[in-house]
Structure 1
Amino acid sequence: MRLVVLVLILAGGGALAGAVNSSQPDLAWLSVLASVLGMALLAVDRFRIRAVPALAKPKPEPGLVVIRAEPGEERSNAAALADPDAEVLVIDERPRYHVRTCDWVGDRKTMALVLREARELGFTPCAYCAPNATLASEIRRP
């Protein structure tokens, strides 16, 4: 749909340039027609996109586990300040390590690892619970 609108915009621009260069008002009206048609198609597409998710939203069955998207990687300078002997949680087949209070972990089955070992195994910090910053702040507390 957007490709069609792009083609209409380009055609309208070409028609407008042709109208200016050749002094033919009919080409200017062709430009206006292409622009109006493109706007109409964009409006139809917007309403179609808004209407579909509301109708097609599935309701989870009781007892069904809904898997939320994997959190991103923590972007913090606190990695060097975190205690390498602190305990973190990892989930099998998932790339992130977490602190015990991470809400994203929820009821998933976790394994406890030492932070140093989790890093050596290639796990990266969760952006949701920010384990590096959390562990670094625990060291600074008296």
Structure 2
Amino acid sequence: MLYAVLLLVLAALGLLVPALTTAQTHWAWLSVGASGAAAAVLALDWWLRRRSGPGAAGTAVVDHQVSGGDRRPGSEGTGDEPAGSPPDQALSEPAEEDVDAADALVVSELTDEVRVLDERPRYHLADCSWLAGRTSLGLPVDEARRLGFTPCAVCRPDGRLADRERTATASEPD
């Protein structure tokens, strides 16, 4: 779709040249029409991507997760999921925490440690129930945010870290 937009924009520019060099206004209107068509194609592409998720409109999504059938014998309970958990639970991702702007601002300046899992989009507090039995890495929260990780809705790290920071700041003597 983006190639179609590019072609329409180039056509609009090409039609603009005769509109500027001649006294005929239909060239200008054709240029405006081509620009409008390009905008419509962009809006359609955006709508298709939003409606269908990340795999829509020609975007390839590669999933590197090990499914239940691809598991090697004897590897039960040694992956990212707890032993005995069903495969759909192992692949499910917790929702993203709905963070208010004030909390996000406070957390963006903190260096408290949060936990992340390789190839997973969320960061968690160490006591998060979703992390139980999974191997995680520790990162400062400001670095995790810079790397594109988002907060987990299960353990609500941004809200809890912001509350902890506000409590610590309020209890400090002036």
TM-score of the aligned structures, taking structure 1 as reference length: 0.53
Q: Which runs of no fewer than 5 residues in structure 1 stay unpaired?
A: 1-60
2:128 is matched with which residue: 102, 109, 114? Answer: 102
**Residue correspondence of structure 1 range 17-56 to structure 2 within 5 A:** none
Letter in 2 for 1:133: G
Aligned to 2:67: none
Cα-to-partner distance string for 1:39-96 (whole Å, 9 max, x where unaligned):
xxxxxxxxxxxxxxxxxxxxxx994333162011111211112252111000011100
For structure 2, the 5+ residue unaligned runs are: 1-75, 78-82
Q: Which amino acid aligns with 2:85?
A: V
Q: Name the structure 2 match of 1:76.
A: 99
- TM-score, structure 2 length as denominator? 0.43
Residue-by-residue CA offset, 1:91-125 (whole Å, 9 max, x unaligned): 01110000111101111000000011111111011
Structure of higher CA gyration radius: 1
One-letter code of the match for 2:126?
Answer: R
Which SS does the other structure have where 2:139 is aligned? Answer: strand
| 3-state secondary structure, aligned to 1:81 | helix
The ranges of structure 1 where at least 4 consecutive aligned residues each deviate by more than 6 angstroms after the TM superposition are: none
Give the paired residue count.
Answer: 82
Give the secondary structure class of the aligned counterpart of 1:101. coil
The one of the two structures with greater contact order (alpha-carbon pairs below 8 A, sep at least 6) is 1
- Write out aligned runs for 1:104-123 (5 A): 104-123=130-149
Equivalent position of 1:136 in the other structure: 162
> For residues 127 and 95 of structure 1, what CA distance do their matches in structure 2 show?
12
